[in-house]
Structure formats: C-alpha cells, structure tokens
Structure 1
Amino acid sequence: MSLYLGFDLSTQQLKIVACNEDLSTHSKYAINFDEFSDKYGTRKGVIANEDTGEVVSPVSLFLEAIQTLLDRMKKENFPFGRVKGISGSCQQHGTVYYTSGISDSLASLDGDSDKWYADLADSFSFPNASNWQDRSTEKELEDFEKALGSAEELCRATGSKAHFRFSGPQIRRRARGDSKEWRNTSHLGLVASFLDTFLTGQLRGVEIGEACGTNLLDIKSGDWNDELLSLILMKNSRVDHVSKEEEAEAAKQAREMLGPVVQPDDCKHIAKYLVGRYGFDEQCVIWPITGDNLATIMSLPLNKDDLLVSMGTSTTVLLLTEKYIPSVNYHMFRHPVCRGIYMGMLCYCNGALAREQLRDEVNEKYSTNGWDKFDEILESEFAKDEEVKQPEKAADERVGIYFPLGEIIPNAKPCKRRFTYSEKTGLVELSKEDVAVEQEAALIIESQALSCRLRVCPMLGGGRDTKSFEVEKALEALEKIVGQEVTVDHVSYSTDEFMKRPKSVYYVGGSSKNESIVRVFNDIFGARKGGYRVEIGDACALGGCFRAIWGCRPHEEHGLGFEDWIKERFDFAGNVDRVESARSGAVEQTWARFSDKVGILSLVEKQLET
C-alpha cells in the first residue's frame, strides 16, 4: 500500500508523519532542535538579540535536523520506497537567502555524505533565516505602508498591513545593511520554499498561500506586486526617491530573485540524493510546501463558510470564504489548494490568560481551585439570562472588555472595562463595584465570542440568513442600537451582514476541552450545521499528508474539490465530538438572543483607547 509523508518544520522541532491512502496514520517521527543547541548557539530553535529585536534560525540546523531524522527513520526500517507523495508546512514568514551556486550545489550533492548541512553551507549568503518572532523591522514597516500610501491600502493589496514577522520587511532590512552577505544574495525564498527546494533538489519559488505572508503579493491577482517588490531592493520611487525607471528595473530583478509564485498543481519529483540515500521511489512527487496555519486548515474537513477556532493562550479564528474582505486588524490568505477560496485569520492576544484571571477571582471568592466553580457560575448565569432575555429587547444589556494585554483586535491598550446599554441613556461605563464576579464570568466568555462573531459575519458568503421570526427580531434588536449599519474596525457594513451564520465551527486548543466555555462560544456563533470539538494532533504535518494524498489521487476522483474529498474520508467518529447547546431551544433562537450585544460591542469598541 502507498504511503504519504507530511513534514512540519516548525520553530522548535521537525515532525514527519506518514499516512495511508485512507488518511489513517501509519507512523510518526520527531526531532527537537534543542539537540543541536550547543552546536548552533540556539535556544528553543532560535538565536535572539534582545537589543535589536532580531530573531533568527540557522539554516544549517534545519538541514542537519532533516538528515538526522530521515537517517533515524532508515535505521527503523521505514519503507521509503512505498512513499508516493510528500508535502508539508513550515514556520511562516521566515526568509532564506541563497548564493548563485545553490543550483549547482544541489545537483552535485552526494547522497553518501553524512553532513549535507556542511556540503550546502556556501549556498546560503546569510547563514541564518529570519524567524516569525523577529521585531527588528519597525522602519521597514513604515516604508511598506508609505509605498502604497497607507496601512489600509497595503492591506487592500496584500491581505495584511505591514507586520514585523512578514517576509518583505525582513528582506528590506537585510538589503538596507548592504552587507557582503546581501551583495552575495542571488535568490530569495521562505523557509517553506527552502524545504521544497531541498526535497526536490531544484530552486523553488514561494507557494501561493505562503506568499500572502510576505506583504509582497497582490492577493487578488495572485502575482507579485511590482511597487512592493522594488522596496526589497531599496529602489521604490515613493520611499527611496528613485526614478520610475529604476523602480521598474528593481521590480524585475526582485521577481527573478524570488521566482514565480508556485501554484497549487506545480509539483516536482523528489531529489536524486534522497532517492539514493533512503530508497525513495524516483517517481515520488513533492507537492508545494505551505505555512503552518494554512496546513492546519488542510488537516480538517473545512468547507467555505466554516470556522476553525483555536482556543489557546491567544485565540485564533480561521475562516474559509469566497469573499475577499481585508482589514488592518486581521489577515487574508489564498487557500493553498482551493482556487477562489481565501483564508481569513483573526489573531487575538487575550485568550486563555484573560479567562484564567477571572477564574482566579472566582476561586479566591469561593476558596476553590480549577475550573469547576467558574463553569458552574457560567452555566448558572446563562440559565438566568435565558429566563428574562427576549431577542428584541436590549435594555440594560451588559458587555465587558477584558484585555490584560494590549489587543490587536480591536487595536486597544490593556484595559478592563464594563458597559451597560439602556435605550434611555445609551452606553454607561460601570465601576468595578457594580459588577459581581459571577456576572463577569459570563461577560468575559461572551465578549470574546462576540468579538469573533462581529468580524466573521461580513466575511461569510451568501445573503442574510432565513427570514424567520427569530431572525427578524434579531435584526430589529440590532438596528435599535446601531441603525442601518454596524461599524467594525472603522469599516461600515449593512446590518443584514450580521444576520448570517457560519456553516460549521470546529474548536481546537487547550480551552476547547472546557465544555462550558465552548458551549457559550457555540451558541453565540449559531453554526447552521453545528459545532464540533476536534482532537487532532500533529495538524500541520497531517495537513501536508492529506494534501499529498489529494494531489496523487486517482484520476476518477479528479472531479472532487479538496474540501469535499477530505470530508468524504475524514474520520469524524474518531476525531470529532459534537458540541451541545448551553441553552434550551433551537440553535437559531440562542444565536438570535445575542444580536443586540453584537451591536453594543461595536459601540463599546469605539470608546477604547488605541
């Protein structure tokens, strides 16, 4: 039976997962980069300069880890000859810099050598790749926004405003130094394209989904943006004050250094040195390597208008959508496989930390430990609210803001504030004494879920949900508060946009194990096909496996899109638990009860200090 490999080259380790054609796991292997910390001077996989904010990872470390792990698999008699396809993911945004000798070095690499990391060392102009934790590009962020006029314009073009970790600003910072290393740079890549390059033995460009994390790709066209490309060679007419002719020439050169954007079906065969050393079949196909978040969505049966909510220290919401609605407060990416589909990504700083602070306050009051008392109170508060709440009535509704850390979504300073809404008086901020800790237990979970719903709704496809009694009352309640439009992150949307619900919601991460919290989130989202808690480890590597299996699928299955194909094969029984409602009544009814609070939260956010 054929096997498929998924690589996950993350910040601290390399994982390789092997899967069978039916998506079941055959075997798993991993190596932690701390094994090499003494040799490379790394800690948790990186070298950090606290003075400059620079964070890097040695490229030779990646190479040595790959060869070491593959060698261990060989010693354990892993059947490399049965591997038909390979894909995977890498830490997003990291940049790799090649000399002009990279192609010749790969062509002459000796499969019998035990030190590929040394054999290829001269192929990298900079020995270190940038890491997503790097914060040394403040000046470059200003330059990228100036090049297109504003953060909003940059976001509109590339799917994100300028970010420290993004690849374009990282490349420009190294170009600004005009060092010997930069002058020896002939080709540019990301960590993901580096892994693709090594596995194929050919210099590979950047995969289209991963390219969205560079601030260089025009996301709508799927091609590099020439104005932004000129920035990485320090020759942008608006920022660097060169002529348009010099800008155009720089953009052309940058295109050659990056290579064309790699499309979903652009695959290559495995490198000869891997065939010779490990016994891979020379017909084994390497499918494009993407970033970790993008690989995660390929590990689950997500269709358009489905959500994946990762409930960890921070909260991350991934959404598949046909609508391109960029915002400076979140990210939009191209799907690495499905053409015409985008991935929206909301990243909140205040997730589990904020919830744990309220839990600790509850435990202090009741002299308890753990989550049991918090959960009991949360469920009690929701039962109490259900008795008095009507979908069309917004009087004396409360919303809380709990940001122990400065928040990205919305852009706000650390704060802890509670507001009440009254039709007579409008928003009124409450003092701490006015809010009991029991009420706050409900408010914090509500506010976190409501913020997600507020931003997800405009990205969902189709029109408003069914014109049922509940939906009509929900719309009436929302419009009493905000009028005909809801403003989200300085953009106004019709209230009809907030009458839409996702199809399905999948919950992962530490807090997803807490049934009480997940039930509240699920009621607020009101998914039409339900909410599900997912237990799936090694998601990034599995996403690579599934992508490789799909790429190598039999010809008769070519009519299926990736979303439908994986949904037919995914082990729901073994990986998924359906989330029950925290309230009685139909899903639509519980969802409708929170529509007024969506409007109240949008008003509250306007009063937060940025």
Structure 2
Amino acid sequence: MWLEAVDLVLARLKANKCPVENIKGVSGSCQQHGSVFWNARGEEALGRLDGGKSLHDQLADVFAYEYGPNWQDHSTQAECDLFDRHLGSAEKLADVTGSSAHHRFTGAQIMRMRRKRPEVYSKTARISLVSSFLASVLHGAIAPLDIGDVTGMNLWDIRNEKWDDSLLELTAGDKGAASELRNKLGEVRQDGGGSIGAISSYFVSKYGFSKDCQIAPFTGDNPATILALPLRPHDAIVSLGTSTTFLMVTPTYKPDPSYHFMNHPANPGHYMFMLCYKNGGLAREKVRDAVAGPKDPSDPWAPFNKHVLDTPPLGSTSESGDRARLGLYFPLPEIVPNIKAGTWRYSARADGSDLQQEKEAWDAALDPRIIVESQALSMRLRSQKLVSSPGDGLPAQPRRIYLVGGGSLNPAIQRVVGDVLGGVDGVYKLDVGGNACALGGAYKAVWALERSEGESFDELIGKRWTEEGAIERVDQGYKKGVFEKYGSVLGAFGNMEAEILKVAHN
C-alpha cells in the first residue's frame, strides 16, 4: 500500500504539471515507531528499479514480512513488561532511552516478531523505521535511521549516543544474537541534515526529477511537527485533535516514565519532550453532547463554550465553599496516566489540601470547564520540571504556547489553556496548513541542503520564516493570580491521579 501510494502521489503531481525538475532536495515525516522488515533481496532490488514498471511490481517480494507493524498495535504487553524490568525499572529504562516501555515502540515490536514469527525474523536482513523506509525507496538504497526517530524505539542510549547493548540482547534473545540485530538495524545517522545521496534514477526517468536532487534524512511525524516553525527552547506546541499531544523543545534532559524524551531531529544537544493522550477531542465531545440546552447545528459547541467561560477557574464558588473541582474524563483507556476508561470527580481546598472524591455528581454545567482544565493541568503537572522563570519575578512557565488541530479554533479552549499553562508571551493559533509534520519535513530538506557551515535549523529557517499569516495571538497567556491558583492545586491533581491509579490501573 505504501509503495502504491508513493507512485500515486507522484503520478498526480506529474499529471498536474508540477515542476518536480526544480526540486533540489526531499525530506519528510512518517508515522513514528512503525517498522519494515526487508529480506536479503531488498538492497539489490532498490538499486535496479526500472522506471517503466511500478514500485509495487518490483518490490513486492523484497520484504520478510508484508505488513508494517505500526503505532496502533497494542499486542506487545508481555514484551513491554520485559523491557521495563530489564534494566531494573521503568524509571531506568526511561533514563537510558527517553521513555518507559510502550506497546508501539519498535524494540518491543521487533522482540515480538522474533518470538511469535521466528521464520520472519530469520529471513530479515534489514529493519527500517517508516521514515528510513521511505527515504530508502526514494534514494534507491537502504537509508540509515534518523537521529530523532531512533529515539522512539526503546533501544537507543540517548546520553551516550549509541545502541544499548543490553537492550539489543533482550530484543534479539541473547548476547550472541545482539550483533546480528545491530546489523539488521544498521548505523544511525547522527547528523539530521546533509544528504544521504541522490534520488533514485527511477524517479528521474518516471516522473522527471533532476538527477541532482538530493535525499535528506527523513524523520518521524512528531519530531517533524516541531520543525514546522522555528520553535525556541521552552516554547510549547499543543495539538488538540481527537487525541492530544504536548510538544516542547528543551536543552535539558530530564526523562521520566510518564512522558517521552526524544532527540531533536535537527539541533544536537536539544531534546523533544512529548506527552500523548488518547482522551482529547473525543472526551470533550462527549461532555459537549451531555450538556443540556438547545443545540445550534451551525455551532454545536456554543453551549459547551458558554459553560466554560461562565464557570470560574476550578469551578470554585461560594456555593461550593470555594473548593476546587478536579476531574478525569476518560471515555477511552488512557496512556498518561495509565488508567482505565471512566469518569472521576474530586474536590480540594484552594490550597490543594483535603482532597476528597465527590460522592455525588456535581452540576453537569461544570463539566465543560473542568474537563478542559483537567487536560491542561495534566500537561502542566508533567512539564513543570522543564520550564523556568522568564524573569521579572514571574513563575516558571512556557515562553509561548502554539495551538494546532481542531480544538485550536475554539475560543473557550484557547482561554483555559492560557489560564492553566500560562505562556508569558501569549497563546497563539498556528496556521501552517492541514499538515504541520509534512511542512516540518519540507523545512528539514531546506535546512539540510542549504545550511552554511555550523548554521542551525532555527537560524536558517528563522531568517526565512515570517509570523504574519502563520500565527495569530488568541490569548494573553499568563494571568497573574489565575496561573498561581492552578499551581496551588497541582499537587492535589497529581494525588488524585495516584488514588485513581490504585483502583483503575490498565
């Protein structure tokens, strides 16, 4: 399917007379964690592609496994348990690789392949991530793994910049087999820029690319998203789609099992901090649909938004005894924290003390505000160690917060994100088209092939990037008194999660 998609997209560009002959270089982004298992014929077949035939016809028999395990696969719980125990604890695994074990991470997926389909694993000559797979097809040879994308495997020692021998042994089955797995994976390209080589002659003859067009390293979709603009340290991107993703660039490596740290795909010495939540837009929609009142088909969010904006922070009123309302709304089992599906409502004093589970459901009109606050409080709780004071006596917080995804258009959500997360320079809606990660991949190609000696990604793209038309300031961000009010209950929010984990752990 992926091979057919490449031909389909390029055929459409050719039919629309896109001047591909002027393209100097190509990079891109692909779904993280997914894997491709090549057999021994793969490298040779890539090098002799015939422009008169399709990719599918020529490469259909070069895979040891015809499917590509991807980020949606949850079949690796047994392997994840072994990964978390192997170095002593999930905390130690996160310290070495940037993440505790996750179902979708490639190390566990490879281990399961070896254990469940040993005949596939034995036939495998090389293993690519989806990003290096696509780069391989375009280049006509197996491409090295990308320095940003490799940190989504639970196999790469981030501090020491090398494969972790012990984790390779775990994945491969024993010490002797670890070197074989290392050969299957290949070397990792430490430089996210430059060229891995010219484009394959297949794309020159079939679609009209210049033979001088260069292929730059491809990366994962999340690392590419932070390349969609010149994101500075302590700037944050919040993606408000069906799920929710929080991304931040930081020069500080402070891993923890509750989130991900990955290498920055273009700036050595910097890292991407990432939080992924299943319960984002879907959870908000369920609360929206439960809110009483007339629904306007042209604006189904109007009652929800009114309740959000009419409700004071934390639902704290004189009628509630000025107690702060806290809750978790998980129609789906959650990743962070690792809690089963369900809804829980708690309250605490304004200073976070006297945390209690509510015995009776509160007024449903409070839920719209509380769910948006709870999603933002979870992000603040887990990112607080990575932000610092911007000066002038201000509390630690992000510099700027950029919103993307469908929820970024909602003024009530914009307001609450600013209330809870702050943002000393404000909250901005980022408009970079429908696909920020694809744009980031394109910017990566520009930097990779046009940088001068020692020129960083942010320096080159920053000189060419204009804010006008790309961002819109939608909230002032930090509001003195309001931000601190949420800070007072942050500990209580964490304690609430811990209590629920005891009884509803996945």
Match of 1:597 in 2: 489
Q: Does 1:83 align with 2:23?
A: yes
Match of 2:436 in 1: 539
Q: Does 1:552 align with 2:449?
A: yes
TM-score (norm 2): 0.91
The code of the aligned residue for 2:383 comes to V
The code of the aligned residue for 2:26 comes to I
The code of the aligned residue for 1:576 comes to I
Contact 1:67–1:116 (8 Å) recurs in 2: yes
CA 1:196–1:145 in structure 2 vs 1: closer, same or farther (change >3 Å)? Answer: same
Match of 1:478 in 2: none
1:386 to partner: Cα distance:
9.9
CA distance in 2 between partners of 1:80 and 1:354 (Å): 43
Match of 1:341 in 2: 270
1:431 to partner: Cα distance:
2.9
1:146 pairs with 69, 79, 85, which one?
85
* Mapping 1:257-276, distance limit 5 Å: 257-263=184-190, 264-267=192-195, 268-276=197-205
Alignment size in residue pairs: 493
3-state secondary structure, aligned to 2:368: helix
Match of 2:414 in 1: 518
2:216 pairs with 279, 287, 307, which one?
287
1:161 to partner: Cα distance:
1.5
* Mapping 1:194-593, distance limit 5 Å: 194-235=133-174, 247=175, 249-263=176-190, 264-267=192-195, 268-362=197-291, 364=292, 366-369=293-296, 370-382=300-312, 396-413=323-340, 414-421=342-349, 426-433=354-361, 435-460=362-387, 462=388, 464-466=389-391, 468=393, 499-536=395-432, 537-553=434-450, 555=452, 558=453, 560-581=455-476, 587-593=479-485
CA 1:271–1:342 in structure 2 vs 1: closer, same or farther (change >3 Å)? Answer: same
For residues 76-120 of structure 1, the C-alpha deviation after alignment (integer angstroms, 9 at most, x for no partner) is 3222221101000112111111122222222222222x2221222
1:345 to partner: Cα distance:
1.0
CA 1:203–1:383 in structure 2 vs 1: closer, same or farther (change >3 Å)? Answer: closer
1:465 to partner: Cα distance:
4.9
Q: Does 1:102 align with 2:42?
A: yes
1:424 to partner: Cα distance:
11
2:108 pairs with 159, 169, 172, which one?
169
2:4 pairs with 64, 71, 78, which one?
64
For residues 498-530 of structure 1, the C-alpha deviation after alignment (integer angstroms, 9 at most, x for no partner) is x41101100011111110111111122111211
Structure 2: gaps (5+ residues): none
CA distance in 2 between partners of 1:291 and 1:186 (Å): 22
CA distance in 1 between partners of 2:333 and 2:4 (Å): 38
1:321 to partner: Cα distance:
0.8
3-state secondary structure, aligned to 1:146: helix
The code of the aligned residue for 1:67 comes to D
3-state secondary structure, aligned to 2:380: helix
More strand by share: 1
1:327 to partner: Cα distance:
1.9
CA 1:142–1:101 in structure 2 vs 1: closer, same or farther (change >3 Å)? Answer: same
For residues 445-481 of structure 1, the C-alpha deviation after alignment (integer angstroms, 9 at most, x for no partner) is 2222111111111122x4x45463xx5xxxxxxxxxx
1:189 pairs with 128, 143, 153, which one?
128
CA distance in 1 between partners of 2:491 and 2:85 (Å): 34
3-state secondary structure, aligned to 1:415: strand
Percent sequence identity over aligned pairs: 38
CA distance in 2 between partners of 1:142 and 1:198 (Å): 34
CA distance in 2 between partners of 1:572 and 1:538 (Å): 17
Contact 1:154–1:161 (8 Å) recurs in 2: yes
3-state secondary structure, aligned to 1:318: strand
3-state secondary structure, aligned to 1:432: coil
CA distance in 2 between partners of 1:406 and 1:68 (Å): 37
1:303 to partner: Cα distance:
1.2
Aligned Cα RMSD in Å? 2.5
3-state secondary structure, aligned to 1:347: strand
Contact 2:350–2:489 (8 Å) recurs in 1: no
3-state secondary structure, aligned to 2:245: strand
1:276 to partner: Cα distance:
2.6
CA distance in 1 between partners of 2:51 and 2:430 (Å): 41
Contact 1:208–1:222 (8 Å) recurs in 2: no
CA 1:423–1:145 in structure 2 vs 1: closer, same or farther (change >3 Å)? Answer: closer
CA distance in 1 between partners of 2:100 and 2:360 (Å): 36
TM-score (norm 1): 0.76
Contact 2:307–2:365 (8 Å) recurs in 1: yes
Match of 1:160 in 2: 99
CA distance in 2 between partners of 1:63 and 1:425 (Å): 57
Contact 1:295–1:541 (8 Å) recurs in 2: yes
CA distance in 2 between partners of 1:120 and 1:402 (Å): 46
Contact 2:194–2:449 (8 Å) recurs in 1: no
Match of 1:481 in 2: none
Contact 1:397–1:421 (8 Å) recurs in 2: yes
For residues 123-166 of structure 1, the C-alpha deviation after alignment (integer angstroms, 9 at most, x for no partner) is 21222221221122222222222322222221211111111111
CA distance in 2 between partners of 1:603 and 1:224 (Å): 36
The code of the aligned residue for 2:349 comes to Y
Contact 2:400–2:426 (8 Å) recurs in 1: yes
For residues 349-396 of structure 1, the C-alpha deviation after alignment (integer angstroms, 9 at most, x for no partner) is 22223322332332x2x34442222222322223898999xxxxx963
Contact 2:236–2:248 (8 Å) recurs in 1: yes
For residues 560-583 of structure 1, the C-alpha deviation after alignment (integer angstroms, 9 at most, x for no partner) is 42124323323422121101349x
CA distance in 1 between partners of 2:352 and 2:99 (Å): 40
CA 1:313–1:76 in structure 2 vs 1: closer, same or farther (change >3 Å)? Answer: closer
Contact 2:325–2:346 (8 Å) recurs in 1: yes
CA 1:358–1:123 in structure 2 vs 1: closer, same or farther (change >3 Å)? Answer: closer
Looking at CA atoms only, which structure, 1 or 2, has the larger radius of gyration? 1
Contact 2:352–2:488 (8 Å) recurs in 1: no
CA distance in 1 between partners of 2:148 and 2:304 (Å): 40
The code of the aligned residue for 1:530 comes to G
CA distance in 1 between partners of 2:281 and 2:132 (Å): 33
Which structure 1 residue ranges, 4+ long, deviate > 6 Å from structure 2?
Answer: 383-388, 422-425
